[in-house]
């Protein structure tokens, strides 16, 4: 059949076909487009026939992939041609070329509407088709009611009505806000009574669209759907033309079952029974036959029935029947059915209770991993990934590894990612996990993302017993001739950290390890060289006694890279060389990396993010939620303090940056360097938590990267913290060589001072332990509780706590356990009795061992003088009489104090109040003076009243005169000194600049009212 007499068009197509190459084709097409453009310009002389011919040419050109940016108006204008062929061309081409927002469409709306409401059925069909294909907003606004009328009209032929149904569907889908479907439930139910299967198929699609939006309204359609299904399944009254390979309209059966899946359940028992009978019939009555088309059709119905059974959550018996069927399918010859069998099994994982039955087919599924069809292999991979759990992880992952070497390149990345995730989630033991990842890197290094090797490094770092194993394992891989660069990276990291654990094994001396690594250097890229350099530095550090030859070899390498063009390499070379020459300091800086905080696997996170919402994927997610690993604890617990931001995994570096490389001499050079040293520059100063009590009593916080704390000079106090003024504590006094690797979190001195003012809070914290205190004070008695919290998943051992009490305190500490279990908190009560007034301090000598770290700290206990004070408000009369009776030293002492931190008087009053020395306002008429009182409790004497008077000089706030009186000379002296300390050095604040030395002691003028009062009072 020729092109309906369009000879010109046939000739054009032939010419295009005869073009030898793309260039010729383009020339021919450009020529034709020019021709068409010209003809359209002189539209007057154009007959409808010619228009039609040219428009078809344009459509042909468009199909070949050339943009046609003119002639749209001509195409649209053909719509209003009175004769069928031109009109047809206008409609078809318009729906192909124009998008729904095209301006020209608006011009055609009237014509289209006239065609729809007109009497000509052929025109109605053309118009509906175009509107249905484009589905624009303006069409919806002006045509939807007319289309609805056509659908319901009894006088219309099925040919028109089925198109009206789908046209309405399209308009509704695209513009649900415009197309009004209120009250459509009854009409929809009515439409389902239709006998014509063509109209019924379209109506069923419309029901799916409407019910998917709001099924509630369409309940009345549900029994009708079941009835239709029954009619088809029993093959009652199905015309021959709707029987496809002997199966009554498989499309309508499928659509009907699809519609039923939009209703959450079927309540009416009769309807439910009928439906299950039909489903049972479908499940049982479908056989695999020779004819491919018949097979496809019957299985289309069968798979939809399976989906509906799963949706309805049928009885277990029917479910296992479904799994059995699927098990049969995945083994059949027909590849489509194998494919869908695997896909539906994956969907079925969502249904509980069937996993075990699915597992029975594991061998067959693994066979499908070797299917000649890549589509089927993918489905098998998805299913294996979904069905994996602890019981079968080893088998499945090993199969995946085996398959990796033969897998298509397009699948390798996904495959290795999935294998890595499964290995991590379900590892029966950690060494197996390490084996799997190393094999992955070995077999498919190009497809291993950084996340995967970072993760294995995290696990090795966090598990001491894994370290020698991993080191030995990576060494084996390095011994091979060809090694992937990722393997070099991971080996360099692990050998740098842990190769010293192998030192006694043959071939594992530092020198041998070094040369093994160094052999690889010429083969790697610039991103790997820094890791190698770090490993060299670490190996050198671990070589005890030092090996001169190795040292000079490594130094010369650093020397060489000192002038490297790559900034990262250069920086490391320069730094390591400088550090090496520092001798003992190297030990500390290059010490073993601390444990990583536990965090959720970024791999697992990645898959979760990439998973969409489709049913099968959410099944995987669901299972991922249900099944937690039994081997590797993967938590996503956030630090309770909220102060830490997780360190990106990408920032692995071998060098810890402790604060202590700052020494007096070269602060300026080293400090900035150590900050930039990069990787660990996530500063985490851990300020004392706002809510200290909750810190103690709440669950232990998992802190940020231990040791990753780059502390400011002032915070860097570790070890002995005794009575020395912490504020100028740049000195780090390691108790012994091993302890100095653990850094306290937060400032110990600040924590202590805070605890002097309040009764609960954190006394000390480091990456492994948190020591909290809660205290109660009654007169001269104190009861403290020490909370020792292990922050890690490993126990703290050799825990020791000794109190070094001063002479004036009786302190009794209950037994402290030797071991603190992982993540546990131990409470140790501590009884304190105050014997005499003294400013001496009790010290807690605390030590523990974590891994190879021996930590010892000496901490002041906040059992200070003020804790034994009780504020008291003394009436003016009594105050003055007491003040008078305590006349002169040693019971009453006066001192002019300089170097006071300037503060307004009310602040000073508050400060005294916080030490339980109560301000007595109104006693002193001078607004620049302050009078306060308190009582002191001790075992040896009854409660003792203490009176304080402070005179300030508004002209110079850095000095004041303090007078203190009590019935006990020691108490007077001690309390005066205590208050002095508080006024001079207020812990948290920066110290004020010292007053100019030249300033003379102010002479209090004789007419000073304060002086008069002083005279009066004394």
Partner 1 sequence: MIKAVMVMNTQGKTRLAKFYEYLPVEKQQELIRGVFAVLCSRAENVSNFIDAESIFGPDSRLVYKHFATLYFVFVFDSSENELAVLDLIQVFVETLDRCFKNVCELDVVFNYSKVHTILDEMIFGGQVVETSSSEIMKAVEEISKLEAASNAITLIPKSASGWRSR
Of the candidates 35, 122, 551, 712, which one interacts with partner 1 according to CB under 8 A?
122
Q: Does 12 bind partner 1 (CB under 8 A)?
A: no
Of the candidates 38, 42, 47, 1003, which one interacts with partner 1 according to CB under 8 A?
47
Listed residue (300, 292, 194, 315) closest to 257, CA to CA: 300
Kind and range of the H or E run holding 579: helix 567-580
Least Cβ distance, residue 279 to partner 1 (angstroms): 15
Match 């003088």 to its residue by tokens.
Answer: 865
Residue-by-residue DSSP string for 28-90: HHHHHHHHHHHHHHTGGG--HHHHHHHHHHHHHHHHTT----S-HHHHHHHTT-SSHHHHHHH
CA–CA distance, 173 with 632 (Å, rounded to integer): 47
Spatial neighbors of 357 by CB under 8 A, at least 6 apart, are: 320, 323, 324
Q: How many residues of this chain interact with partner 1, rule: CB under 8 A?
A: 91
By beta-carbon proximity to partner 1, the closer residue of 81 and 524 is 81
Least Cβ distance, residue 5 to partner 1 (angstroms): 6
How far does CA 858 lie from the centroid of its chain?
Answer: 39
Q: Which of residues 281-320 bind partner 1 (CB under 8 A)?
A: 293, 296-297, 299-300, 303-304
By beta-carbon proximity to partner 1, the closer residue of 6 and 680 is 6
Of the candidates 258, 599, 916, 961, which one interacts with partner 1 according to CB under 8 A?
258
Select the span of 196-204, 504-512, 633-641, 997-1005 touching partner 1 (CB under 8 A): 196-204
Q: Does 406 bind partner 1 (CB under 8 A)?
A: no
Q: Does 381 bind partner 1 (CB under 8 A)?
A: no
Of the candidates 29, 112, 115, 163, which one interacts with partner 1 according to CB under 8 A?
163
Select the span of 130-138, 147-155, 496-504, 731-739 touching partner 1 (CB under 8 A): 130-138
Of the candidates 179, 254, 900, 909, which one interacts with partner 1 according to CB under 8 A?
254
Select the span of 194-202, 319-327, 418-426, 658-666 touching partner 1 (CB under 8 A): 194-202
Q: Does 10 bind partner 1 (CB under 8 A)?
A: yes
What value, to the nearest 5°, has the Cα angle with vertex 120 and ends 117 and 126?
Answer: 80
**Two tokens, residue 92:** 């078809």
Least Cβ distance, residue 676 to partner 1 (angstroms): 42
Of the candidates 23, 67, 216, 664, which one interacts with partner 1 according to CB under 8 A?
67
- 760, burial (CB in 10 Å: exposed 0-12, middle 13-18, buried 19+): buried
Of the candidates 71, 135, 248, 782, which one interacts with partner 1 according to CB under 8 A?
135
Q: Does 675 bind partner 1 (CB under 8 A)?
A: no
By beta-carbon proximity to partner 1, the closer residue of 341 and 597 is 341
Match 């149904």 to its residue by tokens.
Answer: 165
Angle between helices 510-520 and 485-498 (to 10 degrees): 160
By beta-carbon proximity to partner 1, the closer residue of 13 and 350 is 13
Q: Does 431 bind partner 1 (CB under 8 A)?
A: no
Least Cβ distance, residue 305 to partner 1 (angstroms): 11
Q: Does 996 bind partner 1 (CB under 8 A)?
A: no
Least Cβ distance, residue 257 to partner 1 (angstroms): 9
Beta bridge partners of 828: 786
How many Cβ atoms sit within 10 Å of the Cβ of residue 101?
11
By beta-carbon proximity to partner 1, the closer residue of 297 and 946 is 297
Q: Does 579 bind partner 1 (CB under 8 A)?
A: no
Q: Does 34 bind partner 1 (CB under 8 A)?
A: no
Angle between helices 292-312 and 316-329 (to 10 degrees): 150
By beta-carbon proximity to partner 1, the closer residue of 161 and 867 is 161
Asked whether the beta carbons of 422 and 385 are under 8 A apart, the reply is yes
Beta bridge partners of 894: 963
Handedness of CA 81, 87, 91, 93 (dihedral sign): negative
By beta-carbon proximity to partner 1, the closer residue of 53 and 957 is 53
CA–CA distance, 690 with 711 (Å, rounded to integer): 19
Q: Does 104 bind partner 1 (CB under 8 A)?
A: no
Q: Does 178 bind partner 1 (CB under 8 A)?
A: no
By beta-carbon proximity to partner 1, the closer residue of 250 and 729 is 250
Q: Does 86 bind partner 1 (CB under 8 A)?
A: yes
Least Cβ distance, residue 772 to partner 1 (angstroms): 50
Q: Does 124 bind partner 1 (CB under 8 A)?
A: no
Ramachandran assignment for 916, one of left (phi > 0), alpha (psi -120 to 50 degrees), beta (any other): left
Match 């500063």 to its residue by tokens.
Answer: 683
At 709 the three-state DSSP class reads: coil
Q: Does 198 bind partner 1 (CB under 8 A)?
A: yes
Per-position x/- string for 589-628, each x denoting binding to partner 1 as judged by CB under 8 A, each - no binding: -----------------------x-x--------------
By beta-carbon proximity to partner 1, the closer residue of 299 and 455 is 299
Q: What is the CA radius of gyration of the chain?
A: 43
Q: Does 84 bind partner 1 (CB under 8 A)?
A: yes
Spatial neighbors of 672 by CB under 8 A, at least 6 apart, are: none
**Two tokens, residue 153:** 């009209």
CA–CA distance, 929 with 1017 (Å, rounded to integer): 13
Q: Does 100 bind partner 1 (CB under 8 A)?
A: yes
Of the candidates 29, 58, 92, 275, which one interacts with partner 1 according to CB under 8 A?
92
By beta-carbon proximity to partner 1, the closer residue of 201 and 534 is 201
Q: Does 41 bind partner 1 (CB under 8 A)?
A: no
Q: Does 78 bind partner 1 (CB under 8 A)?
A: yes
How many Cβ atoms sit within 10 Å of the Cβ of residue 678?
15
Per-position x/- string for 202-241, each x denoting binding to partner 1 as judged by CB under 8 A, each - no binding: x--x--x--------------------------------x
- Given 3-state DSSP classes, what are the helix, strand and coil percentages for the chain, each rounded to the nearest 5? 55, 10, 35
Q: Does 957 bind partner 1 (CB under 8 A)?
A: no
Beta bridge partners of 477: none
Of the candidates 8, 48, 678, 995, which one interacts with partner 1 according to CB under 8 A?
48
Asked whether the beta carbons of 570 and 564 are under 8 A apart, the reply is yes
Least Cβ distance, residue 81 to partner 1 (angstroms): 5
Q: Does 970 bind partner 1 (CB under 8 A)?
A: no
Match 């002095």 to its residue by tokens.
Answer: 980
Of the candidates 348, 349, 376, 855, which one interacts with partner 1 according to CB under 8 A?
376
Asked whether the beta carbons of 722 and 846 are under 8 A apart, the reply is no
Q: Does 753 bind partner 1 (CB under 8 A)?
A: no
Q: Phi, psi (5° rounding) for residue 508?
A: -120, 20
Spatial neighbors of 38 by CB under 8 A, at least 6 apart, are: none
DSSP structural state of residue 565: S
Of the candidates 32, 40, 51, 380, which one interacts with partner 1 according to CB under 8 A?
51
Q: Does 133 bind partner 1 (CB under 8 A)?
A: yes
Q: Does 105 bind partner 1 (CB under 8 A)?
A: no
Of the candidates 43, 728, 878, 895, which one interacts with partner 1 according to CB under 8 A?
43
At 920 the three-state DSSP class reads: coil
Q: For 955-973, give one letter per residue: b (16+ CB within 10 A) or e.
A: eebbbbbbbbbbbbeebbb
Handedness of CA 468, 473, 478, 484 (dihedral sign): negative
Least Cβ distance, residue 194 to partner 1 (angstroms): 14
């Amino acid at each position: 059949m020729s092109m309906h007499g369009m000879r010109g068009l046939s000739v054009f197509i032939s010419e295009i076909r005869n073009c030898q190459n793309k260039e010729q084709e383009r020339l021919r097409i450009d020529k034709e487009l020019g021709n068409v453009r010209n003809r359209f310009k002189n539209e007057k002389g154009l007959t409808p026939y010619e228009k039609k011919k040219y428009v078809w040419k344009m459509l042909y050109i468009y199909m070949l992939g050339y943009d046609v940016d003119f002639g749209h108006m001509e195409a649209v204008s053909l719509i209003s041609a009175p004769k069928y062929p031109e009109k047809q061309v206008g409609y078809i081409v318009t729906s192909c070329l124009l998008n729904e927002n095209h301006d020209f469409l608006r011009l055609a709306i009237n014509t289209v509407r006239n065609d729809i409401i007109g009497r000509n059925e052929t025109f109605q069909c053309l118009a509906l088709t175009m509107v249905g294909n484009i589905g624009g907003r303006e069409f919806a606004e002006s045509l939807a009611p007319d289309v609805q009328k056509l659908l319901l009209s009894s006088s219309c032929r099925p040919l028109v009505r089925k198109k009206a149904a789908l046209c309405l569907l399209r308009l509704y889908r695209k513009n649900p806000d415009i197309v009004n479907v209120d009250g459509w439930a009854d009409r929809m139910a009515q439409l389902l009574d239709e006998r014509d299967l063509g109209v019924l198929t379209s109506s069923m699609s419309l029901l799916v669209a409407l019910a998917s939006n709001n099924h509630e309204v369409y309940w009345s359609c549900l029994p009708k759907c079941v009835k239709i299904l029954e009619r088809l399944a029993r093959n009652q009254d199905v015309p021959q033309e709707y029987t496809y390979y002997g199966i009554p309209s498989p499309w309508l059966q499928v659509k009907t079952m699809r519609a039923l899946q939009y209703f959450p359940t079927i309540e009416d028992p009769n309807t439910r029974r009928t439906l299950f009978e039909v489903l049972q019939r479908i499940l049982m009555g479908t056989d695999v036959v020779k004819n491919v088309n018949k097979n496809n059709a019957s299985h289309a119905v069968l798979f939809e029935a399976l989906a509906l059974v799963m949706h309805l959550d049928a009885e277990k018996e029917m479910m296992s029947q479904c799994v059995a069927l699927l098990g049969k399918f995945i083994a059949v010859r027909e590849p489509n059915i194998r494919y869908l069998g695997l896909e539906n099994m994956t969907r079925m994982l969502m249904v509980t209770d069937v996993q075990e039955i699915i597992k029975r087919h594991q061998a067959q599924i693994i066979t499908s991993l070797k299917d000649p069809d890549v589509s089927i292999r993918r489905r098998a991979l998805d299913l294996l990934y979904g069905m994996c759990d602890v019981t079968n992880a080893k088998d499945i992952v090993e199969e995946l590894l085996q398959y990796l070497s033969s897998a298509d390149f397009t699948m390798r990345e996904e495959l290795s990612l999935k294998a890595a995730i499964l290995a991590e989630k379900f590892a029966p033991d950690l060494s197996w996990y390490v084996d799997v990842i190393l094999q992955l890197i070995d077999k498919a290094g190009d497809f291993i993302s950084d996340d995967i090797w970072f993760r294995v490094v995290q696990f090795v770092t966090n598990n001491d017993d894994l370290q020698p194993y991993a080191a030995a394992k990576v060494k084996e891989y390095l011994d091979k001739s060809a090694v992937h660069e990722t393997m070099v990276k991971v080996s360099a990291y692990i050998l740098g950290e842990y190769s010293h654990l192998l030192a006694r094994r043959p071939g594992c001396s530092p020198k041998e390890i070094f040369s093994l690594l160094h052999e690889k250097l010429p083969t790697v890229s610039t991103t790997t060289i820094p890791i190698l350099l770090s490993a060299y530095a670490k190996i050198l550090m671990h070589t005890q006694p030092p090996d001169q030859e190795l040292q000079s070899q490594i130094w010369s390498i650093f020397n060489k890279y000192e002038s490297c063009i790559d900034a990262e390499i250069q920086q490391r070379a320069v730094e390591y060389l400088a550090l090496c020459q520092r001798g003992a300091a190297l030990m500390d800086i290059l010490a073993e990396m601390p444990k990583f905080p536990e965090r959720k696997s970024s791999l697992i996170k990645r898959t979760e993010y990439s998973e969409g919402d489709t049913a099968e994927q959410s099944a995987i997610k669901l299972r991922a939620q249900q099944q937690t690993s039994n081997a590797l604890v993967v938590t996503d617990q956030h630090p309770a303090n909220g102060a830490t931001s997780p360190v990106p995994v990408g920032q692995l570096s071998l060098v810890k940056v402790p604060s202590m490389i700052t020494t007096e001499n070269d602060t300026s050079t080293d400090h900035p360097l150590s900050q930039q040293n990069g990787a660990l520059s996530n500063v985490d100063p851990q300020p004392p938590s706002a809510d200290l009590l909750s810190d103690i009593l709440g669950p232990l916080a998992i802190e940020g990267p231990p040791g990753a704390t780059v502390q400011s000079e002032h915070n860097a106090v570790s070890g002995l913290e005794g009575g020395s003024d912490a504020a100028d504590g740049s000195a780090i006094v390691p108790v012994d060589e091993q302890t100095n690797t653990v850094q306290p979190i937060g400032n110990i001195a600040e924590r202590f001072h805070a605890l002097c003012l309040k009764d609960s809070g954190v006394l000390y914290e480091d990456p492994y332990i948190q020591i909290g205190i809660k205290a109660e004070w009654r007169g001269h008695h104190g009861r403290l509780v020490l909370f020792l919290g292990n922050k890690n998943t490993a126990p703290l051992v050799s825990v020791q706590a000794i109190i070094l009490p001063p002479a004036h305190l009786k302190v009794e500490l209950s037994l402290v356990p030797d071991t603190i279990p992982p993540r546990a908190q131990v409470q140790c009560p501590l009884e304190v009795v105050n014997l005499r007034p003294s400013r001496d301090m009790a010290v807690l000598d605390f030590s523990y061992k974590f891994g190879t770290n021996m930590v010892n700290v000496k901490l002041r206990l906040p059992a200070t003088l003020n804790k034994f004070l009780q504020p008291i408000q003394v009436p003016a009369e009594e105050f003055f009489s007491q003040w008078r009776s305590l006349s002169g030293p040693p019971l009453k002492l006066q001192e002019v104090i300089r170097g006071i931190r300037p503060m307004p008087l009310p602040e000073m009053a508050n400060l005294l109040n916080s030490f339980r020395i109560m301000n007595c306002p109104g006693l002193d008429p001078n607004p620049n003076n302050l009078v306060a009182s308190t009582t002191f409790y001790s075992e040896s004497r009854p409660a003792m009243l203490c009176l304080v008077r402070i005179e300030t000089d508004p002209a110079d706030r850095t000095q004041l005169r303090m007078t203190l009186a009590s019935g006990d000379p020691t108490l007077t002296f001690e309390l005066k000194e205590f208050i002095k300390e508080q006024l001079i050095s207020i812990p948290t604040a920066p110290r004020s600049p010292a007053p100019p030395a030249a300033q003379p002691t102010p002479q209090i003028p004789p007419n000073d009212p304060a002086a008069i009062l002083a005279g009066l009072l004394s």
